[in-house]
Amino acid sequence: MSFFRGTNRFVLILLIVFLVPQWWLYADVSSKYQKLAKQAGLVYGPNAEKRVLAWRRLIEESRSLSVVEKLTKVNNFFNQMEFVDDDVLWAKEDYWATPIEFLGMQAGDCEDFTIAKYFTLRELGVPDEQLRLVYVKALTLNQHHMVLAYYHKPTSIPVLLDNIDKELKPASRRNDLLPIYSFNAENLWLSKEKGRGVLVGGLITIELVDRFK
């Protein structure tokens, strides 16, 4: 993922992160996701329906867990999916899959992993101010990458959820990553040092494409 390609992706991901939670967090889970699971099965095959239902079971069974347990379970669940670039998986240079599409294909790129983890943790009650989607340079791979960061406190070194190094680790132990910028549904930060950043500003509400409504 080149930097300029990543910058273009960043704009649309901001829209997804800012607007989708209104639909995501207040949906009728019992009926909505049973229907979506069946639809996923029709489109992607019977195993896709099983994956969507397993995801919903994960959420229902994890609500009372500690934050660390939630991070671990969500990270491990989505890291079972396969990494595949958009041009191979979707025959498009840039494609932002919904979590249902990601689970249906059982594959996606780093943005798909990160967005799915972000929305799942939000649904599990992790506050938005403790989560950031972080664009980084993966130094050993010499390419741009995205991870999810969890901050116990605003000034603390975050724990990273990553599909490359699948173990939960503090950012201080990820010398292979160079942070560039990070964001959540409220704000954008430019990174000055690992795990911290300078607040740039809030996000603007823009109508999102129909498939994310």
Lookup result for tokens 């549904």: 185
Look at 131 and 20; give whichever has higher pLDDT: 131
Banded model confidence at residue 57, pLDDT cuts 50, 70, 90: very high
Banded model confidence at residue 36, pLDDT cuts 50, 70, 90: confident
Second-level CATH architecture of 3-212: Roll (3.10)
Domain boundaries, the chain: 3-212
Banded model confidence at residue 14, pLDDT cuts 50, 70, 90: low
- Alpha-carbon gap, residue 14 to 138, rounded angstroms: 21
Query: What per-residue confidence (pLDDT) applies to 42?
Result: 95
Percent of the chain with pLDDT over 70: 73
Cα angle value 196/197/198 (rounded, 5°):
150
Residue 33 has pLDDT above 90, yes or no: no
Query: What per-residue confidence (pLDDT) applies to 31?
Result: 74
3-class SS of residue 7: helix
Banded model confidence at residue 155, pLDDT cuts 50, 70, 90: confident
pLDDT tens, residue by residue, 62-108:
999 999 999 999 999 999 999 999 899 999 887 878 899 999 999 99
Look at 189 and 102; give whichever has higher pLDDT: 102
Maximum Cα–Cα distance for the chain, whole Å? 47
Rounded-to-10 torsion of CA 191, 115, 124, 73: -90
Query: What per-residue confidence (pLDDT) applies to 97?
Result: 87
Residue 10 has pLDDT above 80, yes or no: no
SS (H, E, C) 34-81: HHHHHHHHHHHCHHHHHHHHHHHHHHHHHCCCCHHHHHHHHHHHHCCC
The reply to whether the predicted model has a pTM over 0.85 is no
